[in-house]
Amino acid sequence: MAYNVFQYFSVAVAETEYIMIDIKFLRENPEVVKQNIRNKFQDSKLPLVDEVIELDKKSREFKQEADSLRAEKNKIAKSIGALMAQGKKDEAEAEKKKVAEFSERLAELEKLEPEYAEKIKTIMMTIPNIIDPSVPIGKDDSENVEIERFGEPVVPDFEIPYHTDIMERFDGIDLDSARRVAGNGFYYLMGDIARLHSSVIAYARDFMIGRGFRYCVPPFMIRADVVTGVMSFAEMDAMMYKIEGEDLYLIGTSEHSMIGKFIDQMIPEKTLPQTLTSYSPCFRKEKGAHGIEERGVYRIHQFEKQEMIVVCKPEESPMWFDKLWQNTVDLFRSLDIPVRTLECCSGDLADLKVKSLDVEAWSPRQKKYFEVGSCSNLGDAQARRLRMRVQGENGEKYLPHTLNNTVVAPPRMLIAFLENNLQADGSVLIPKALQPYMGGQTKLVPTK
């Protein structure tokens, strides 16, 4: 699954911060940017390309005029002294009037420069990143493309109950109390099910450490400049909980604070790649979702997750993309869960993403696969917006690429785990890899 990330791009430091693509690239390749917008089925954004080009042109003209005026002012200021020394008072006064006129115009330009810069930034924040040429073109997730299956999906000859019904047999979930305490979209996990949840997280942590990733527990809240650096406005509105009265948001995934760790940093090239795996709770509004189920834990407001991120040289990001999703596949297979990978089509990619692949687990009850993780390459978009730079060994400065992938998110993992390891007598087998984390238990026996 190798691919050519950003075949159009150099990796020079961008002219403008907080954007997804280099404005110099947009200026020189407007049709490429427009075709990319069409490929993502966001035609309403097409006029923004011409608009930002015109604003950028005027902004550069203002800057050029201001620079010329400053140079002329300095030149005249020097001549005034000489004229006064020569007794040419009238000529000196005429020059002073010119300086005053220049100063007045400069004041106007100095007001226009930040105004136009803000307009350009606002538009550039909404123009989507250039997707990789290998991404299939499609309107939404219904047009994602299956790549490969791992493990044999099995439908047993006995009925598989709904996942919360399985948990309730172990007295392992209390949704009624959670609703009274916090509302829909929350849960209490209890007993063996709660222990299973924690065991999966601990196993995923050690699994990733074994793959050479450095373990991290990050902040669970981040500032607004980090939020806007790691995600699009649309994602931010749909996902993030804002802390009232504070410049803080609850994280929707630890990827946000993990990548945010490098904000405003000059990273020595010799320290790349940075490979980190993190544990965190995650909080999501799930705005625009198909509703929060009262009984299920598939789509919820709060969950825990093990994540992985990579910060690397641009030429290495295709290799890391393949390594990241393979880690998730290997972890699920070590727990006897069949999975498949799907290439996300253009219309299913968030605006910052260059390329993305979903990992889906087999559901014997539904007789289909469902999403349990997502692997993404964001190219240099996050690095540009967070003002991350790499100091090359030859002195060159450039933007790194960032990638992220879900190791495991236990609520969805629990659904897959329980369904695929459920036995006809109602017990649940514990795979060998997880047994040390479950106190040596080889199976869970229902209490009801």
Return all residues near 357 (Cβ < 8 A) that are at least 6 apart. 1, 147, 321, 325, 341, 342, 343, 344, 374, 375, 376
Residue 103 banded pLDDT, cuts 50, 70, 90: confident
For residues 417 and 357, membership in a common domain is answered with: yes
In a domain, 166, yes or no: yes
Q: For position 83, what pLDDT does the model report?
A: 62
Quick check: 82 pLDDT over 70? no
Quick check: 288 pLDDT over 80? no
Quick check: 100 pLDDT over 90? no
Return the CATH number at 236: 3.30.930.10
Q: For position 293, what pLDDT does the model report?
A: 56
From the number of C-beta atoms within 10 Å of its C-beta (0-12, 13-18, 19+), residue 113 rates as: middle
Quick check: 182 pLDDT over 80? yes
Residue 260 banded pLDDT, cuts 50, 70, 90: very high
In a domain, 155, yes or no: yes
Q: Mean of the per-residue pLDDT values for the chain? A: 90
Average pLDDT over residues 255-268: 96
Average pLDDT over residues 247-265: 95
Radius of gyration, alpha carbons of the chain: 28
The token duo for 222 is 């981040």
pLDDT tens digits for 197-214?
A: 999 999 999 999 999 999
Identify the sign of the CA torsion 14, 19, 22, 23.
negative
From the number of C-beta atoms within 10 Å of its C-beta (0-12, 13-18, 19+), residue 176 rates as: exposed
Quick check: 313 pLDDT over 80? yes
Quick check: 41 pLDDT over 70? yes
Per the structure, the count of domains in the chain is 2
Quick check: 15 pLDDT over 60? no
In a domain, 114, yes or no: yes
Average pLDDT over residues 309-318: 97
Percent of the chain with pLDDT over 90: 74
Residue 324 banded pLDDT, cuts 50, 70, 90: very high
Average pLDDT over residues 192-199: 97
Distance, C-alpha 33 to centroid of its chain: 21
In three-state secondary structure terms, 276 is: strand
For residues 319 and 243, membership in a common domain is answered with: yes
Residue among 275, 304, 266, 269 nearest 216 (CA): 275
Q: How far apart are CA 196 and CA 120, in angstroms?
A: 50
Return all residues near 425 (Cβ < 8 A) that are at least 6 apart. none
For residues 241 and 175, membership in a common domain is answered with: yes
pLDDT tens digits for 370-379?
A: 999 999 999 9
In three-state secondary structure terms, 330 is: helix
Average pLDDT over residues 53-73: 88
For residues 120 and 157, membership in a common domain is answered with: no
Question: Is the separation of the CB atoms in 21 and 122 below 8 Å?
Answer: no
Q: For position 287, what pLDDT does the model report?
A: 64
Average pLDDT over residues 142-150: 97
Domain containing residue 108: 43-124
Quick check: 66 pLDDT over 90? no
Q: For position 290, what pLDDT does the model report?
A: 53
For residues 223 and 81, membership in a common domain is answered with: no
Q: For position 12, what pLDDT does the model report?
A: 41
Average pLDDT over residues 328-346: 97
Q: For position 281, what pLDDT does the model report?
A: 95
For residues 81 and 161, membership in a common domain is answered with: no
Return the CATH number at 88: 1.10.287.40
Cis check: omega of the bond before 273, within 30 degrees of 0 = yes
Q: How far apart are CA 437 and CA 421, in angstroms?
A: 17
Q: How far apart are CA 100 and CA 107, in angstroms?
A: 11
Residue 88 banded pLDDT, cuts 50, 70, 90: confident
For residues 107 and 208, membership in a common domain is answered with: no
* Start-end of H helices in 43-157: 46-85, 89-124
The pTM score is 0.87
For residues 87 and 210, membership in a common domain is answered with: no
Average pLDDT over residues 144-151: 97
In a domain, 254, yes or no: yes
From the number of C-beta atoms within 10 Å of its C-beta (0-12, 13-18, 19+), residue 254 rates as: buried
Average pLDDT over residues 36-53: 96
Average pLDDT over residues 231-252: 88
Q: Could you tell me which residue, 166 or 295, shows the higher pLDDT? A: 166
